[in-house]
Amino acid sequence: MSFQYQQFGEQNSFDNQAQLQQQGQVSLQMQQFENNSQNGYQQIINENPVQGQPIINYPLQGQQVVNYPSANIQIPQNMIMVPIQNPIQKLDYCQGIFIKQKLELLQALIGWQHENVYKVFQADVNGIQVGNNPMFLCKEKSECMQRIFLKGDMRAFNMNITNESGTALNGQTVSTPFLALERPFKCTFFAYNRPVLNVYYVENGTKVLFGYIKNPFQCCQLGCEIYDENDQLKFLIKGKCCQLGLICRGLPCDSCQQYEFTVQNTTGQILTRLLKKSSGCLKSYVSNCDDFSMGFPINSTPQEKALLMSATIFLDYMYFENKETKNNAMTLQNKIF
């Protein structure tokens, strides 16, 4: 009888050791997966307050396990992947952005200036688009008479940037307010009354100032300055005025289809590049829709990324919103100064 009890105790001890070893492997796999989270997805992990071991939330009956970040990463089975809903977390994980302006057919056919709409996609460090689902949607709100009679670098507008997220139940896209951009009317004369874009973070109906973007007076150079909420200069965006993408915009050659800005810190060191590229020769001929791509600077915060995204839209209004006409030289001179 004592031999049987001893044998049973050894077998039970062996089973406990095997179970702890298996839990340790799962914990190691989950730790490795957490360090390699990509593409705006995160895992759901709960902590066991008794043993301190991670507990995996198993999927419900009939629920599919999808949206794994990479096929090369070993992921424990039965782990649920959910899209990141928080816009701040989206920007924190994001390495770059790709902004695409929506083509309005009515504006292309009859020349009626419509309110601009932009879609913001996730991109890699080189600004190459990743995925087909937009992270954010930007919609302009402005007066019709100002869009008709005023240029894009003068007219007042507000822009609501919403966080586009899918629900776990039906997969439909839900838009929630994220940023609010406000630019008042400015009648600029050289260094006097320069254009300014205010950036607000919206949460629960309350707006908090994130910072602002200012277009300084520069001779023979394009760009803007980015400040935080404490009036501290964060970034400088600069571009040369002699690029073919500005002078010969709309021509079919590649050099005439794109324009490059440099993003610099306060000491003038180049951190990354912002590239403006037209949507194609035909679209650029009938409209002023452009695409922008940028890889975020290393170690930049979500607030700084939001300001850089807002500055990209601001630059589109300042220099690329109005289609060039036969008065190209005069219009270009007004843009530079």
State residue 167's pLDDT score.
54
Confidence tier at 47 by pLDDT (50, 70, 90): very low
Most confident of 107-111, 150-154, 202-206, 209-213: 209-213
Does the structure show a pLDDT above 80 at 56? no
Q: Which of 313, 319, 269 is nearest to 294 (CA)?
A: 313
Band (pLDDT 50/70/90 cuts) for residue 38 is very low
Residues 6+ apart with CB under 8 A from 237: 223, 224, 225, 226, 261, 262, 263, 264, 274, 311, 315
- Return the pLDDT at 223: 96
Per-residue pLDDT, averaged over 18-42, amounts to: 46
Q: What are the structural domain ranges in the chain?
A: 2-83, 87-336
User: Which tokens in the block code for residue 255?
Assistant: 């050099």
Q: What is the mean pLDDT of residues 152-167?
A: 89
Over the chain, what is the mean pLDDT?
76
Q: What is the pLDDT of residues 249-303, one digit of tens each?
A: 767 777 888 999 999 999 999 999 999 998 666 666 656 688 999 999 999 999 9
- 116 Cβ partners below 8 Å, 6+ apart? 101, 102, 138, 139, 140, 316, 321
- Give the pLDDT band of residue 5 (cuts 50, 70, 90): very low
Please give the average per-residue pLDDT across 110-121, as a whole number.
86
Burial of 303 (0-12, 13-18, 19+ CB in 10 A): middle
**Tokens 């690329």 found at:** 320
